């Protein structure tokens, strides 16, 4: 990615050409982190035969990795979380309540959008039922910054889906995180992070008296660092996961109507997440790109630490693309399939609806991506690294099971369907399937019944001859 220097401005991020872009679908699992995660999972498990996490072994790892201080609690009580909520300032508590309400409303609307259904089929009926998994595991990061918003996004969504048990894991929880756990209705809070947290939720936690303080979770969701992602890749299959998330990213499509100050602020907001985050500008206007670059540099100069250093590092893998049309901007965006996609153009809605690949879209100057981060309603846990081509963000659907059923009440009315089944089975070379289907044909049933009657008659005749 080569930077353009012809315009003689000191660039924070370079310009690249659309020809240099390729379909981005990166492996989010770091090989070294995967090896380390496997070692952690082995260290905290009960034995080679049992994956259940032992609390004494977990405590050793949690202390070594800085999740808890020596003698600190691994399990945080509901009372402690409620106390943290009650002790918030009135302003903080009101904001938390408001954000919780918006996320809950959106998640409940999602849940209501999919219902049980039933249709008639030849001779009977078929349909599906929608039901939640029993236990949900929710992870909220606690590294550079506490993220109570992730507590709400994951735990509230699980509750809206109808999960009976919601387990939350987060390292070094601060009061606002504990308060978020309370309002979100978390049943269990495990104060550990990283691979050890994912293993605890996947395999369950056995305490000193032999009881299970944390049940094995059916689904584990939530963003996290490279060790969280690596551990999720290990446990998937044993339980469900939402996604394997990589570095956070934002892409802004803009034309000459955009505000460079607003776009710059949104790029920085994403860049301060992590040194490996990416902020991308795709625009039709050369002058707009220059103004955005200048605005980013100026705004970064006043950002406090450590946010400033983090964002500056993230800008090293950020870039801009100059396109000849908005249509080309959309094509570039679809190649990248960004986690967050902002539209700052004329006819923003039409432009946004023409985009195919993204995690979440934010249309218009007022629809700041940070509003999505903090509870406009839609979930902020979104697919990264190009995976928006085939999946979406966290939702109630991650906790739901859609299971189908079939019932046949009339043998006579289903005969055409049975004959089709028998024929298709033989076309596939599955004779056992065909014969199982034939047992539902009336003609075969009648033949079998006649054969049974003949057998019974012959047996009776033989007995009479003996007599």
Place of tokens 């009101």: 94
Q: Please choose, from the candidates 26, 31, 144, the residue with its C-alpha nearest in 3D space to the C-alpha of residue 383.
A: 26
Nearest Cα residue to 377 out of 157, 221, 139: 157
Burial 14-25, CB ≥16 within 10 A → b, else e:
bbbeeeebeebe
For residue 459, give the nearest of 451, 88, 385 by alpha carbon.
451
Let me know how long the chain is. Answer: 467
167-181 as b/e: b if 16+ CB within 10 A: bbbbbbbebbbbbbb
Structure tokens at 93: 């508590």
19 φ, ψ to 5°?
-65, -25
Catalytic, out of 100, 182, 340, 344 = 340
Joined tokens for residue 202:
């996947």
The active-site residue, picked from 249, 339, 342, 438, is 339
Quote the CA–CA distance of 175 and 182 in Å, as a whole number: 11
Residue 26 near residue 246, CB atoms below 8 Å: yes
Structure tokens at 210: 């032999």
User: Which residue in the block uniquely carries the two structure tokens 């599955």?
Assistant: 430
Specify whether 340 is catalytic. yes
DSSP letter assigned to residue 273: T
432: Cβ contacts below 8 Å, ≥ 6 apart: none
23-26: long-range contacts, CB 8 A cutoff, minimum separation 24 = 23/335, 23/386, 24/335, 24/336, 24/337, 24/385, 24/386, 25/337, 25/385, 25/386, 25/387, 25/389, 26/246, 26/385, 26/386
Distance between CA atoms of 299 and 33, rounded to whole angstroms? 34
Active site residues: 339-340
């Amino acid at each position: 990615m080569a930077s353009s220097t012809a315009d003689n401005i000191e660039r924070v991020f370079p310009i690249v050409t659309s020809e240099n872009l390729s379909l981005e679908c990166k492996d989010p699992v770091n090989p070294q982190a995967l090896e380390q995660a496997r070692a952690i999972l082995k260290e905290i498990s009960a034995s080679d035969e049992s994956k259940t996490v032992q609390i004494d072994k977990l405590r050793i790892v949690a202390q070594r990795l800085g999740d808890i201080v020596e003698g600190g609690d691994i399990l945080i009580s509901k009372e402690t979380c409620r106390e943290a909520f009650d002790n918030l300032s009135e302003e903080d508590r009101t904001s938390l309540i408001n954000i919780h309400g918006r996320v809950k409303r959106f998640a409940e609307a999602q849940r209501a959008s999919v219902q049980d259904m039933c249709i008639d089929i030849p001779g009977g009926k078929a349909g599906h039922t929608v039901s939640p998994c029993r236990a949900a595991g929710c992870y909220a990061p606690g590294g550079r910054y506490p993220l109570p918003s992730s507590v709400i996004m994951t735990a509230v969504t699980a509750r809206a889906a109808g999960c009976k048990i919601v387990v939350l894991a987060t390292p070094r929880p601060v009061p606002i995180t504990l308060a978020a756990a309370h309002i979100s209705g978390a049943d269990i809070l495990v104060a550990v992070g990283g691979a050890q947290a994912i293993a605890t939720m996947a395999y369950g936690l056995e305490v000193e008296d032999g009881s299970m303080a944390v049940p094995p979770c059916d689904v584990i969701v939530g963003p996290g660092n490279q060790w969280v992602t690596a551990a999720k890749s290990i446990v998937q299959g044993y339980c469900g996961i939402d996604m394997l998330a990589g570095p956070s990213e934002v892409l802004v499509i803009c034309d000459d109507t955009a505000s460079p100050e607003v776009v710059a602020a949104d790029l920085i907001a994403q860049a301060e997440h992590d040194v490996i985050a990416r902020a991308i500008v795709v625009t039709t206007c050369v002058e707009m790109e220059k103004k955005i670059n200048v605005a980013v540099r100026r705004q970064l100069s006043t950002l406090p630490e450590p946010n400033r250093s983090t964002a500056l590092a993230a800008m090293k893998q950020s870039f801009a693309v100059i396109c000849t049309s908005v249509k080309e901007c959309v094509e570039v965006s679809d190649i990248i399939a960004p986690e967050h996609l902002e539209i700052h153009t004329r006819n923003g809605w039409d432009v946004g609806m023409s985009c195919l690949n993204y995690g979440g879209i934010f249309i218009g100057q007022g629809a700041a991506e940070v509003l999505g981060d903090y509870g406009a309603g839609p979930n902020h846990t979104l697919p990264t690294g190009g995976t928006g081509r085939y999946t979406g963000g966290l939702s109630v659907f991650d906790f739901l099971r859609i299971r189908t059923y079939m019932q046949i009440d009339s043998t006579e009315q289903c005969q055409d369907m049975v004959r089709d089944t028998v024929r298709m089975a033989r076309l596939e070379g599955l004779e056992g399937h065909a014969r199982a289907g034939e047992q539902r044909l009336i003609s075969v049933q009648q033949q079998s019944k006649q054969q049974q009657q003949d057998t019974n008659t012959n047996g009776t005749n033989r007995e009479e001859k003996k007599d």
